[in-house]
A and B are shown apart, each in its own frame.
Chain A
Amino acid sequence: MYATNYHRASSVQDALALKSSTDETKYLSGGMTLIATMKQRLAAPSDLVDLRHVADMKGITVSGRSVHLGAGTTHYDVSASAALKSVCPAICHLASHIGDPHVRHMGTIGGSVANNDPAADYPAALLALDAVIVTDRRQISAAEFFTGLFETALEEDEIVTAVTFEAPEKAGYSKFANPASRYAMTGVFVAKGAGGVRVAVTGAGADGVFRHAGLEQALSANWSPEAVAGVTVDSSNLMADIHASAEYRANLVKVMAKRAVAAA
């Protein structure tokens, strides 16, 4: 790790001020990606502004079927929330399978969505749930927010403060873990709600998380695991690496979609 300056923000406004006053500054939340990257000297921010002590950015609120997740909420807290489980158990299940216990007690939903790792779990959930990403200055729909590999609609100094969504009638998530990293080699989140059926895929897309129209049509017509069988998943825009070819990932998209519906 290169030398860096550490700042602890006490509020969102404080964080914005600290960011604007220093060069090459990065916001730090759980640090589960950023710190590891810095240790490998692949990232070298001059300053870190720590968001973990901003009280307004923490906590889970469920009113009716409306869900509000503070950006600083850890994966563990999402996985263990009884209120959340009562309206959307699928997202609790998803959070319970991110990384390992250490990661789940440090990593946050805000950090995860802002990083937009193409193999992260939350982007699939937020896209399928038609969630809104709330920032210090605006609200962005998940469809607008995730723009590419490690790319989002966030402006340079913009801070994710919360994620909100309406809990769907049914939702399920199934992931096939990379044998080495245990990140999603393919993960599929399915949701059936007022706005119809939405199917989002992470870990497989060459441009990051994406919705699959064919699966959505098939499941809109017949919400059942069997409905997936007739869908064709095109491999041409999927990732390929030493662990999985695009063709194999295309197969996993179908299998994981089927299992996600079965679990919903």
Chain B
Amino acid sequence: MGLEGIGARVVRKEDKRFLTGKGRYTDDMTVPGMKYAFFVRSAHAHARIVSIDTSAAKDMPGIIDILGGKELQADGIGNLICGWMIHSKDGSPMKMGAWRPLAHETVRYVGDAIAIVVADSLAEARDAAEAVVVEYDVLPAVTQASRALEAGQPQIHPEASNNLIFDWQLGDADSTDAAVARAAHVTEMKIVNNRLSPNPMEPRATLGIYDEAEDHYTCYTTSQNPHVARLVMSAFYNVAPENKLRVIAPDVGGGFGSKIYIYPEEIVCLWASKKTGVPVKWTSDRTEAFLTDAHGRDHETTVKMAFDADHRIIGLKVDTIANIGAYMSLFSSATPTYLYATLLSGQYDIPAIHANVRAVYTNTAPVDAYRGAGRPEATYVMERTMETAARELGIAPAELRRKNFIRSFPHQTPVIMNYDAGDFEASLNAALAASDYAGFPARKAEAATRGMKRGIGMSCYIEACGIAPSAAVGSLGAGVGLWESAEVRVNAVGTIEVLTGSHSHGQGHETTFAQLIADRFGVSMDSVNIVHGDTDKVQMGMGTYGSRSGAVGMSAIVKALDKVEAKAKKIAAHLMEADESDIVIENGELKVAGTDKTLPWFQVALAAYTAHNLPSGMEPGLKETAFYDPSNFTFPAGCYICEVEVDPETGKTQIVQFVAADDFGNIINPMIVEGQVHGGIAQGIGQALLEAVHYDPANGQLITASYMDYAMPRADDLPSFQVSHQTTPCPSNPLGIKGCGEAGAIGSPPALINAITDAIGNNELNMPATPQKVWLAANAAH
């Protein structure tokens, strides 16, 4: 692998600028004449707008203009869309209501944007926004999805009767019902997956610039997928045609899914820039982020897991109500369906599965993919139920899982997925050994002498990354293909630029992608630049989410490298008068195998550009592009074991050990992968122990609108993680990569809750396991 090649622990190239405060984020962008935007937002969860009076506000100092939804609509700017069509089981298409970038008729959640104020300074924009008088006719609001389905609840969109967007199913209901009916044992649970706020360190921001002379728009934005942003803003929102709209996502400080989507602010700032004739910048403050960033999770589920007398799972029936929020965000329909129910076979050979999912409008912020996106919800259902079943059946949790593991691949599940590779027992055994599972009873007894309740829990997760084969997702309703593109430019002196449609917002692509080039050509990483995030530089790409940049993005680079290598070998063979098939690339040189003939890489590159002596008919230059469409999803899997001590007097949980054993296929940079696992587990622990979005059910006001009430994990909430890797290379892509960005957040919540419920002897505990909830559950157990 060399010092910089695949498998090397290379320090991240991008960290110097990040750690010295030299990153360039959207809010750092300043252009001449730039003005500042502040949005007037709904103070109510549900109301008809009677009138909007901006007259006094417009006269305030520094105000350029105040614009509203009527003007936006008159200019032909379209409503926001959801890009994945789901059909209900009766065949009808999902019932999508209108999401106007600026509401002028009805507001449907606290924070719904109503008007944009553009001013010389942010303070003046805020002052004027406070002077905009919005008269509301306040309507009743509903925040919980199951409640929104009940008769007599507020109707949020006229299109969706009883707030039901779709009633979708996957799998076979009859065979699953039959399995449940004949089962020797059925474990039934009601499971809530709590609503989360994504909390990237950098809040969303956008800078819209309209150039009247060129009739051209530039949009700086905090996006995980700038090309998709340009596509959607052009094709659906009518902001500008693609050739007149450049989208740049510079350094982006974390996304976790929340920066996949196109929000009203990007659209409105671009439009407002044209209306006002000045560049318009908006940066979210933290409370706006809590109010308007797409939330994650929020499922209410009933699950029945049916076992035969030999403890084999013979059927799984799942009924889920998914809270979509007030509007359908870009991929909100895919997250609780094809990213969720397709993983309900877990690591287990289950002959019959049926999932029913109802998606529901409520008067809350839109809900969409958040780190894991559907797979954490599926894993939480599966792994809490498995652990509870083991307790009910009186057998060891590891043994119940072992008995039901899938052991041969490929394996077709009853819920679409075809697992291509895996060794679930290897990760389970590694985790059992690393956690000294066998020694747990002694540790529990010792803890009891200190008055502490010690518990242990596990989670054997599988997830799907590398999204996704375009034809497959197209057949399931996706509005886009999920391939990736790459362009490899070898410069005349041999340095290399790689332009990728993937987008790095913390993943370290500038390092790992360069390692791939260093590995392939034996050149130094320092001679390789990774270019991303600018639609004027990079050809069409699909961006980064779903742990796809390694499995899909790097596969596209490999395809382009194959073409570059083939051409370079042709040139070298010509120059050294050898046969093309005898040329090998080693340590930055092209050699004729078995001879001492050699050409440095840079000389071949130079020859390609001088073009003085190329093979007959060859075009000059050394630059190739590729599009890679994956043949399958990839399936990272692993086993997490968590050990806790619960203070029975206060209900406070301390995590005393956390073991992760993951199979991500081949690994480019183990240090970066471990960082992803650490971060993912920290977010999973955040969900399981601390985090929850609370709305006041009476009026839809957001209670957790700051860090005073929204509990994020801190360093002292977390243990030191013990991480190991087991490797079954992925057979579905050239590098054998599966993906590692979300596994930690997917696998960890059930392991932690299983440990706490073990400690307190009560299986009924919902996330987050706050001290109060654990104290109540522990007391209820006696």
Q: Provide the residues of chain A in CB contact with B775, threshold 8 Å.
A: 248, 251
Which B-chain residue is minimally distant from A119 (CB atoms)? Answer: B708
Asked whether A181 and B707 contact (CB < 8 A) given A41-B126, A176-B650, A252-B650, the answer is yes
CB neighbors of A among B118-174 (8 A): 123, 126-127, 130
**Contact residue among A3, A179, A255 (Cβ-Cβ distance under 8 Å from B690):** A179
Task: Mark the stretch among A47-55, A150-158, A237-245 that contacts chain B.
Answer: A237-245
Q: Are A245 and B710 in contact (CB under 8 A)?
A: no
Which B-chain residue is minimally distant from A180 (CB atoms)? Answer: B711
Q: Are B708 and A255 in contact (CB under 8 A)?
A: no
Q: Are A255 and B772 in contact (CB under 8 A)?
A: no
Q: Are A242 and B709 in contact (CB under 8 A)?
A: yes
Q: Are B650 and A243 in contact (CB under 8 A)?
A: no
- Alpha-carbon distance A40/B130, docked complex (angstroms): 13
- Alpha-carbon distance A248/B707, docked complex (angstroms): 22
- Alpha-carbon distance A168/B284, docked complex (angstroms): 50
Asked whether A180 and B709 contact (CB < 8 A) given A41-B126, A255-B649, A255-B650, the answer is yes
**Contact residue among A2, A41, A243 (Cβ-Cβ distance under 8 Å from B770):** A243
Q: Are A181 and B650 in contact (CB under 8 A)?
A: no
Total count of chain A residues near the partner, CB < 8 A: 17
User: How many Å from the CB of B482 to the closest CB on chain A?
Assistant: 37
Q: Are A248 and B709 in contact (CB under 8 A)?
A: no
Task: Indicate whether B704 reaches chain A with its CB closer than 8 angstroms.
Answer: yes
Task: Indicate whether B506 reaches chain A with its CB closer than 8 angstroms.
Answer: no
Contact bitstring B278-296, A, C-beta under 8 A = 1, else 0? 0000000001000000000
- Alpha-carbon distance A2/B123, docked complex (angstroms): 7
User: How many Å from the CB of A263 to the closest CB on chain B?
Assistant: 15
Q: Are B771 and A179 in contact (CB under 8 A)?
A: yes
CB neighbors of A among B415-465 (8 A): none
- Alpha-carbon distance A255/B771, docked complex (angstroms): 13
Contact bitstring A118-144, B, C-beta under 8 A = 1, else 0? 000000000000000000000000000
Q: Are A181 and B772 in contact (CB under 8 A)?
A: no
CB neighbors of A among B271-312 (8 A): 287
- Alpha-carbon distance A62/B690, docked complex (angstroms): 42
Q: Are A176 and B708 in contact (CB under 8 A)?
A: no
Q: Provide the residues of chain B in CB contact with A176, threshold 8 Å.
A: 650, 652, 771
Task: Indicate whether B694 reaches chain A with its CB closer than 8 angstroms.
Answer: yes
Q: Provide the residues of chain B in CB contact with A244, threshold 8 Å.
A: 771-772
Q: Provide the residues of chain A in CB contact with B618, threshold 8 Å.
A: none
CB neighbors of A among B689-738 (8 A): 690, 694, 703-704, 707-712
**Contact residue among B652, B703, B771 (Cβ-Cβ distance under 8 Å from A242):** B703
User: How many Å from the CB of A150 to the closest CB on chain B?
Assistant: 15
Q: Are B711 and A179 in contact (CB under 8 A)?
A: yes
- Alpha-carbon distance A245/B652, docked complex (angstroms): 15
Name the residue among A40, A242, A244 with the largest chain B CB count within 10 angstroms.
Answer: A242
Q: Provide the residues of chain A in CB contact with B709, threshold 8 Å.
A: 180-181, 242-243
Q: Provide the residues of chain A in CB contact with B711, threshold 8 Å.
A: 179-180
Q: Provide the residues of chain A in CB contact with B710, threshold 8 Å.
A: 180
Q: Provide the residues of chain B in CB contact with A245, threshold 8 Å.
A: 772
User: How many Å from the CB of A50 to the closest CB on chain B?
Assistant: 21
CB neighbors of A among B635-651 (8 A): 649-651
User: How many Å from the CB of B762 to the closest CB on chain A?
Assistant: 16
CB neighbors of A among B651-701 (8 A): 651-652, 690, 694
User: How many Å from the CB of B697 to the closest CB on chain A?
Assistant: 11
Name the residue among B127, B707, B772 with the largest chain A CB count within 10 angstroms.
Answer: B772
User: How many Å from the CB of B627 to the closest CB on chain A?
Assistant: 46
User: How many Å from the CB of A143 to the closest CB on chain B?
Assistant: 29
- Alpha-carbon distance A60/B775, docked complex (angstroms): 41
Q: Provide the residues of chain B in CB contact with A242, threshold 8 Å.
A: 694, 703-704, 709
Q: Provide the residues of chain B in CB contact with A3, threshold 8 Å.
A: 123
User: How many Å from the CB of A244 to the closest CB on chain B?
Assistant: 5
- Alpha-carbon distance A255/B287, docked complex (angstroms): 35
User: How many Å from the CB of B654 to the closest CB on chain A?
Assistant: 13
- Alpha-carbon distance A1/B703, docked complex (angstroms): 22
Which B-chain residue is minimally distant from A249 (CB atoms)? Answer: B772
CB neighbors of B among A207-264 (8 A): 242-245, 248, 251-252, 255
User: How many Å from the CB of B780 to the closest CB on chain A?
Assistant: 13
Which B-chain residue is minimally distant from A258 (CB atoms)? Answer: B649
- Alpha-carbon distance A179/B650, docked complex (angstroms): 12
Q: Are A181 and B708 in contact (CB under 8 A)?
A: yes
Q: Are A248 and B772 in contact (CB under 8 A)?
A: yes
Q: Provide the residues of chain A in CB contact with B690, threshold 8 Å.
A: 179-180
Which A-chain residue is minimally distant from B287 (CB atoms)? Answer: A40
- Alpha-carbon distance A176/B126, docked complex (angstroms): 38
Q: Are A180 and B694 in contact (CB under 8 A)?
A: no
Which A-chain residue is minimally distant from B652 (CB atoms)? Answer: A176
User: How many Å from the CB of A59 to the closest CB on chain B?
Assistant: 32
- Alpha-carbon distance A252/B649, docked complex (angstroms): 8
**Contact residue among A180, A248, A251, A252 (Cβ-Cβ distance under 8 Å from B708):** A180
User: How many Å from the CB of A120 to the closest CB on chain B?
Assistant: 13
Contact bitstring B603-624, A, C-beta under 8 A = 1, else 0? 0000000000000000000000
Q: Provide the residues of chain A in CB contact with B770, threshold 8 Å.
A: 179, 243
Q: Provide the residues of chain B in CB contact with A180, threshold 8 Å.
A: 690, 704, 707-712
Q: Provide the residues of chain B in CB contact with A251, threshold 8 Å.
A: 649-650, 775
CB neighbors of B among A135-186 (8 A): 176, 179-181
Name the residue among B126, B287, B710, B771 with the largest chain A CB count within 10 angstroms.
Answer: B771
- Alpha-carbon distance A176/B694, docked complex (angstroms): 22
User: How many Å from the CB of B95 to the closest CB on chain A?
Assistant: 32
- Alpha-carbon distance A181/B690, docked complex (angstroms): 12
Q: Provide the residues of chain B in CB contact with A255, threshold 8 Å.
A: 649-650
Name the residue among B127, B650, B703 with the largest chain A CB count within 10 angstroms.
Answer: B650
Q: Provide the residues of chain A in CB contact with B650, threshold 8 Å.
A: 176, 251-252, 255
- Alpha-carbon distance A103/B652, docked complex (angstroms): 25
Which B-chain residue is minimally distant from A182 (CB atoms)? Answer: B714
29 sample A-B contacts, Cβ–Cβ < 8 Å, listed by A number = A3-B123, A40-B287, A41-B126, A176-B771, A179-B690, A179-B770, A179-B771, A180-B704, A180-B709, A180-B710, A181-B708, A181-B709, A242-B704, A242-B709, A243-B709, A243-B770, A243-B772, A244-B772, A245-B772, A248-B651, A248-B771, A248-B772, A248-B775, A248-B776, A251-B649, A251-B650, A251-B775, A252-B650, A255-B650
Give 16 A-B pairs besides A2-B123, A179-B770, A181-B708 with Cβ atoms closer than 8 angstroms.
Answer: A40-B287, A176-B650, A176-B652, A179-B771, A180-B709, A180-B710, A180-B711, A180-B712, A181-B707, A242-B694, A242-B703, A243-B770, A248-B771, A248-B772, A248-B776, A251-B775
6 residue pairs, one from A and one from B, having the closest CB atoms:
A180-B711, A179-B711, A255-B649, A181-B708, A248-B772, A242-B694
On B, residues with C-beta under 8 Å from A are: 123, 126-127, 130, 287, 649-652, 690, 694, 703-704, 707-712, 770-772, 775-776
